[in-house]
Structure formats: C-alpha cells, structure tokens
Amino acid sequence: MENLNRRGSRKERWTSREEERVWIGFYRRVGDPEVASDLIEQMEADSEVKTQHLGLYLRCKQSLRRERARRARAKAIAHAVEALLRFLVVAPAGRLVGIWNFIGAICMHWFPQPDEPAVKQMRKIRKAGAATKSTRVEVQQETTEKQA
C-alpha cells in the first residue's frame, strides 16, 4: 500500500493518507454500536471495501452482538427489580389499603347513622307533645295524596 501512496500526485498521496487515518479512526470507534451499524451498512453496500477491511467488518458485527447482549441483560435486570419492588412495596401497600378499608367500614357501622330531616322533625313534634296518633295518620294521608 505504501508503494501506491508514493506514486501519484501530491493531492492523491494526501487523500490516501487521510483515508487511512479515517479507517484507523473507525477501528478505534468500532465499540460504538451506532458507528458499527453505519459501517456494516456501508460495507454491505460496497463489497470491495468489505473485503479490504474484513477485520473491521467482523469487529463491527461483534460490537453489535455485545450491545444486544448488554441490552438483554439490562432488560432482565429491570424486570427482576420491578418484580422485587412489586413483591416488597406494592403488594404490602395494597394489603394495607384493603385492611384500612375494612377497618373503616367496621368503624362506620359503630357510629350512629345520621337521621333524615323528617325523622328529626317528628322527634321535635313528639317532644313538644303536639303529635298524637290522629295527627300522624293525617300526615301520612297527606303524603300519600301528594304522591298520588
């Protein structure tokens, strides 16, 4: 390759050296999955470049496999952490909420039920002594007439 670089014009030699530097840079950055996928795409489009830089192509493939494995491990760890949090935090909290609701329902049954306004009014009338059986019957008849 050096013999090829020495022949030709100065511009061609400079371009050849720059091209070589770029390829060296690709070898250094092949660990980045984005760079690796771009290089694979370009190499598969141009078979001549692929044969010239077969080592780089294989390192790119290896880099992508490592990235897929890393993501699979991270996903498995995330699922394990999520399951652990559900088991240690969410499930007990759900049970506590259920117990709290049950205790609240029991406490609500212990307290006296609020009366309707009509019942309160009837108690006042009875205490005043004005309510007799006949007035109760009259009130009931009036309410049935209003409903009908």
DSSP state of 7: S
| pLDDT < 50 positions in the chain | 1-2, 4-5
pLDDT at residue 32, rounded to an integer: 87
pLDDT at residue 136, rounded to an integer: 62
pLDDT at residue 127, rounded to an integer: 80
The residue written with tokens 């100065």 in the block is: 10
pLDDT at residue 133, rounded to an integer: 56
Contact (Cβ atoms closer than 8 angstroms) between residue 53 and residue 23? yes
d(CA 140, CA 126): 15
DSSP state of 114: P
Nearest to 115 by CA among 105, 106, 125, 123: 123
pLDDT at residue 24, rounded to an integer: 83
Q: Model pTM? A: 0.53
Helix (H, G, I), strand (E, B) or coil at 88: helix
